[in-house]
């Protein structure tokens, strides 16, 4: 089998080709360097790995199944479809993989407190959950607009012992919450770890968060070899920041015959402001070009003056103007392909999977399923594909009820 892309990424400065890096105020350089050192040490420490594996197994519920989808496969009449069931994890999505990893790292660094930002509240809930398990104090920053929309998740976080701080500035959503979390970190860095939720932000976050999600691809690779005796032809995953996608993709990057498709939020259409597709320009989604947002150089949705654009998606987890820098690099290398599906298509895919397989996926994951539904009928019957079900749909019932 042909192997490609064995080059180790990122480089020593946290760069994936032209992307990534560390674009932060001077005050954050020392904490980021401290974090990088601590992570490098932890990564090489067998005891840390043992603790991590134990929590992933007994607290989060790993390994997750790689499940054959018989009725979806028959319905589409093309390739054999497997579902990687991250939706079965504790708290309902892949996010817990990263939260456990960073939570353990915080303990190892002697920090007593973790802070996080959250949009829809999913990352906040996963962080509060791990903080409770590890006996860490937890503060979650959330825009007041998002708090009103996601009351149930605010209630969950409080029940888990976290303090939820409402952010009333700017658009009162995720990017304002990130700014407040940054301010807190600078002030309290001696006692506090900033538990970032996706493969975004300054080095070492994109690398570290990716590494904590690599378990998805490691398991999937062993499981598909066991089930089919060969590697898959295709991988599909939705891309918000890009953590569940890179978690699945990474172990297969060296296998030239494994094609990868990242699916972004196409929202209501290709006009800037109507979608959150950063890497899908070829599919007609306007407005993304390289820029710096929240500490990293990557593709960012922006207007002609460089103002960050507003975005739209039916799924909160994909609704963000920037994408993880490693995806920008994989897109440029044409190692992975990026496309986008519309709100309508994602909602329809959620219904299809629910009726045919008895699984209600998260609206985010439904984007990946929608792309599979589009492509599979044209594939040869002997193709094998894996689609990542990043989370379960319980959290989306109210949104769905309003949508229809």
Ligand X SMILES: *Cc1c(COP(=O)(O)O)cnc(C)c1O
Provide, rounded to whole angstroms, the least separation between the CB of residue 191 and ligand X: 27
In what order do the strands lie in the sheet containing 19-20?
Answer: 15-16, 19-20, 296-301, 288-293
Count of residues interacting with ligand X (CB under 6 A): 18
Kind of pairing between the strands at 80-85 and 66-68:
antiparallel
Provide, rounded to whole angstroms, the least separation between the CB of residue 163 and ligand X: 21
Catalytic, 390? Answer yes
* 365: contact with ligand X by CB under 6 A: yes
Sequence-ordered list of residues with C-beta below 8 angstroms from that of 305, at least 6 positions apart, any chain:
none
Cα–Cα distance for residue pair 179/177, rounded to 1 Å: 5
DSSP code per residue over 318-331:
G--SB--HHHHHHH
Which entry of 117, 145, 357, 364 is annotated as an active-site residue? 117
Closer Cβ to ligand X, 111 or 264, answer by number: 264
Provide, rounded to whole angstroms, the least separation between the CB of residue 226 and ligand X: 25
Identify which range of 6-14, 48-56, 185-193, 358-366 contacts ligand X by CB under 6 A. Answer: 358-366
Interface characters, 310-349, with ligand X (x: CB under 6 A)? -------xx-------------------------------
Cα distance from N-terminal residue to C-terminal residue, the chain: 47
Which entry of 84, 86, 95, 364 is annotated as an active-site residue? 95
Which entry of 145, 274, 390, 395 is annotated as an active-site residue? 390
Provide, rounded to whole angstroms, the least separation between the CB of residue 288 and ligand X: 16
DSSP code per residue over 118-179:
-SSSHHHHHHHHHHHHHT-EEEEEEEHHHHHHTHHHHHHHHHTT-EEEEE-STTSSHHHHHH
Cα–Cα distance for residue pair 18/306, rounded to 1 Å: 19
* 391: contact with ligand X by CB under 6 A: yes
Which candidate, 302, 333, 281, 243, places its Cα nearest to that of 19? 333
**Which residue of 78, 241, 266, 325 would you call a contact of ligand X, by CB under 6 A?**
241
Q: What is the DSSP letter of 294?
A: T
**Residue nearest ligand X, CB atom distance:** 391
Active site residues: 95, 117, 390
Contact positions vs ligand X (CB under 6 A): 93, 95, 122, 198, 238-244, 317-318, 362, 364-365, 390-391
């Amino acid at each position: 089998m042909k192997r490609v892309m064995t080059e180790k990424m990122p480089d020593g400065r946290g760069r994936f080709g032209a992307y990534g890096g560390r674009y932060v105020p001077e005050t954050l350089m020392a904490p980021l360097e401290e974090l990088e050192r601590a992570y490098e040490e932890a990564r090489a420490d067998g005891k840390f790995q043992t603790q991590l594996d134990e929590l992933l197994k007994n607290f989060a519920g790993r390994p997750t199944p790689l499940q054959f989808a018989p009725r979806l496969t028959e319905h589409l009449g093309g390739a054999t479809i497997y579902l990687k069931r991250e939706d079965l994890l504790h708290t309902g999505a892949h996010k817990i993989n990263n939260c456990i990893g960073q939570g353990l790292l915080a303990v190892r660094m002697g920090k007593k407190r973790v802070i996080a930002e959250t949009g829809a509240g999913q990352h906040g809930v996963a962080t509060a959950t791990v903080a409770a398990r590890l006996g860490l104090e937890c503060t979650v920053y959330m825009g007041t607009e998002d708090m009103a929309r996601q009351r149930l998740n605010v209630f969950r976080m409080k029940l888990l012992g976290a303090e939820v701080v409402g952010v009333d500035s700017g658009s009162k959503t995720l990017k304002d919450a990130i700014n407040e979390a940054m301010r807190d970190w600078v002030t309290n860095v001696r006692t506090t770890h900033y538990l970032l939720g996706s493969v975004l932000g300054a080095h070492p976050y994109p690398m570290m968060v990716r590494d904590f999600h690599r378990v998805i691809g490691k398991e999937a690779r062993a499981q598909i070899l066991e089930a089919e005796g060969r590697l898959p032809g295709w991988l599909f995953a939705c891309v918000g920041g890009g953590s569940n996608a890179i978690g699945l993709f990474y172990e297969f990057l060296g296998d030239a015959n494994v094609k990868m498709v990242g699916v972004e939020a196409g929202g209501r259409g290709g006009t800037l402001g109507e979608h959150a597709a950063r890497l899908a320009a070829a599919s007609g989604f306007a407005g993304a070009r390289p820029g710096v947002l929240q500490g990293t150089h990557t593709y960012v949705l922006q207007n002609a003056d460089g103002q960050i654009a507003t975005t739209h998606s039916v799924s909160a987890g994909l609704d963000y103007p920037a994408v993880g820098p490693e995806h920008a690099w994989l897109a440029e290398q044409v190692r992975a392909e990026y496309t986008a599906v519309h709100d309508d298509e994602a909602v329809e895919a959620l219904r299809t999977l629910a009726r045919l397989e008895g699984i209600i996926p998260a609206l985010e994951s439904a984007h990946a399923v929608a792309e599979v539904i589009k492509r599979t009928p044209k594939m040869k019957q002997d193709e094998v594909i894996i689609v990542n079900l990043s989370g379960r749909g319980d959290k989306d019932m109210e949104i769905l009820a309003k949508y229809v």
